[in-house]
């Protein structure tokens, strides 16, 4: 039995990302008509392929392990990985993250490489930190270091902190209620933005009233799909988690039913629920048909173990290295699959 919260978070992020990717940027009705229900992997001949959401979570875990939890070393290591990650030409990279990575290549330090944006990159990297780190001070410091590396908007930091606190809450209280999560974010005094706070509180009230995640999204002005704006993405992911705190399959499919940025909402929700249920709570059929190479499940297990040890012992840990030349080859395969799906969308049904 494997209930490691960090491994569960990485794998939950991966399956959410891969299941949601074929549905990305489609409105809910068109997605249902074109692809059917999100019950299995559909991207590459019945197999799932992960995208930037999972890769950022993995890079964050590696940086935590190799830095021993030191915020400055963590930022430097994550920046180094991000530079080489963008050099491998990943498909579907967020504009803010791409700009920040280019600034890093130009010699801008990690503390000043971020751009003013409230996109989803920081929230993609946050659940694994919450799953691995118990110390609140260290958790905040590393979430802040991860965020400013690419995004400087305060809402991006708040969204990342919310996702990290959710994963920390789920790892210690798998059946957390909306009221318990509300108390946790109150203790962290997040979010500061009034619009963000209203939407997040609305999500918690909606869960309490047993409203579905899709109905909450539609009622909140997202009937055509969830945008890549962190103020929209995080409340939807939190709604899906709290509606199904130990049912990863249902949490992920609830996010995808909302349409829009489905791979990211499903990845964040999967990362949080995964922290609660561990590897044993990941749907076996989704894991068996998931293609994550070169970041295999065995590699993720080693990285998750090292990240947790680094957070506890505060000493750097060794992690297995990736065969970097395989990364651009994988990215080419992913890009080809994404382009094929894009071409398919030009045809009916509409």
- Output the tens digit of pLDDT for each of the chain's 350 residues: 467 899 999 999 999 999 999 999 999 999 999 999 999 999 999 999 999 999 999 999 999 999 999 999 999 999 999 999 999 999 888 999 999 999 999 999 999 999 999 999 999 999 999 999 999 999 999 999 999 999 999 999 999 999 999 999 999 999 999 999 999 999 999 999 999 999 999 999 999 999 999 999 999 999 999 999 999 999 999 999 999 999 999 999 999 999 999 999 999 999 999 999 999 999 999 999 999 999 999 999 999 999 999 999 999 999 999 888 889 999 999 999 999 999 999 999 98
Residue 1 has what pLDDT? Answer: 42
List the structure tokens of 337.
């699959």
Question: Side-chain half-sphere of 162: how many Cα atoms within 13 Å?
Answer: 33
List the structure tokens of 82.
């991000």
Neighbours of 96 (CB within 10 A): 23
Neighbours of 313 (CB within 10 A): 11
Three-state SS string across the chain, please? CCCCHHHHHHHHHHHHHHHHHHHCCECHHHHHHHHCCCCCCCCECCEEECCHHHHHHHHHHHHHHHHCCCHHHHHHHHHHHHHHHHHCCCCCCCHHHHHHHHHHHCCCCCCCCCECCCCCHHHHHHHHHHHHCCCHHHHHHHHHHHHHCCECCHHHHHHHHHHHHHHHHHHHCCCCCHHHHHHHHHHHCCCCCHHHHHHHHHHHHHHHCCCCHHHHHHHCCCCCCECCCHHHHHHHHHHHHHHCCCCHHHHHHHHHCCCECHHHHHHHHHHHHHHHHCHHHCCHHHHHCEECCCCCHHHHHHHHHHHHHHHHHCCCCCCCCCCCCHHHHHHHHHHHHHHHHHHHCCCCCC
Residue written as tokens 């999100």?
Answer: 38
172 beta partners: none
48 beta partners: 290
Q: How far is CA 293 from CA 148, 202, 286, 331, in A?
A: 28, 39, 15, 10
On whether the CB atoms of residues 147 and 122 are closer than 8 A, the answer is yes
Spatial separation of the C-alpha atoms in residues 266 and 95, rounded to whole Å: 20
Residue 350 has what pLDDT? Answer: 85
Q: What is the pTM of this model?
A: 0.98
List the structure tokens of 252.
């992920």
Spatial separation of the C-alpha atoms in residues 57 and 275, rounded to whole Å: 13
Q: How far is CA 222 from CA 79, 219, 227, in A?
A: 33, 7, 8
Residue written as tokens 């909606």?
Answer: 206
CA-based nearest residue to 156, from 121, 180, 183: 121
Q: How far is CA 210 from CA 202, 216, 239, 247, 285, in A?
A: 12, 10, 10, 15, 28
Structural domains in the chain?
5-344 (1.10.4080.10)
């Amino acid at each position: 039995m494997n209930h490691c919260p960090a491994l569960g978070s990485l794998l939950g992020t991966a399956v959410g990302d891969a299941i949601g990717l074929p549905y990305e940027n489609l409105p809910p009705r068109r997605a249902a008509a074109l692809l059917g229900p999100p019950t299995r992997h559909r991207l590459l001949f019945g197999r799932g392929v992960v995208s930037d959401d999972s890769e950022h979570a993995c890079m964050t875990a590696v940086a935590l392990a190799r830095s021993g939890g030191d915020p400055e070393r963590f930022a430097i290591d994550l920046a180094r990985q991000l530079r080489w990650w963008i050099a491998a030409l990943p498909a579907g990279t967020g504009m803010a993250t791409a700009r920040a990575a280019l600034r890093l290549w130009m010699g801008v330090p990690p503390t000043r490489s971020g751009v003013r944006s409230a996109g989803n990159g920081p929230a993609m990297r946050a659940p694994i930190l919450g799953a691995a780190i118990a110390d609140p001070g260290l958790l905040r410091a590393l979430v802040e270091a991860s965020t400013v590396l690419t995004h400087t908007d305060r809402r991006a930091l708040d969204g990342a902190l919310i996702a990290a606190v959710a994963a920390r809450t789920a790892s210690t209280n798998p059946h957390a209620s909306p009221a318990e999560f509300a108390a946790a974010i109150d203790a962290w005094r997040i979010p500061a933005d009034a619009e963000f706070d209203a939407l997040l509180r609305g999500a918690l009230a909606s869960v309490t009233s047993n409203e579905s995640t899709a109905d909450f999204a539609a009622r909140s002005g997202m009937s055509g799909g969830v945008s890549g704006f962190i103020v929209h993405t995080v409340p939807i992911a939190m709604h899906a988690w709290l509606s199904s705190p130990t049912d990863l399959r249902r949490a992920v499919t609830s996010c995808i039913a909302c349409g829009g940025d489905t791979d990211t909402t499903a990845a964040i929700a999967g990362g949080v629920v995964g922290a609660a249920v561990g590897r044993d709570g990941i749907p076996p059929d989704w894991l068996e048909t998931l293609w994550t190479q070169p970041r295999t499940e065995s590699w993720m297990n080693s990285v998750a173990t090292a990240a947790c040890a680094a957070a506890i012992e505060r000493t750097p840990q060794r992690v297995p290295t990736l065969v970097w030349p395989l990364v651009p080859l994988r990215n080419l395969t992913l890009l080809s699959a994404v382009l094929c799906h894009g071409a398919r969308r030009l045809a009916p049904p509409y």
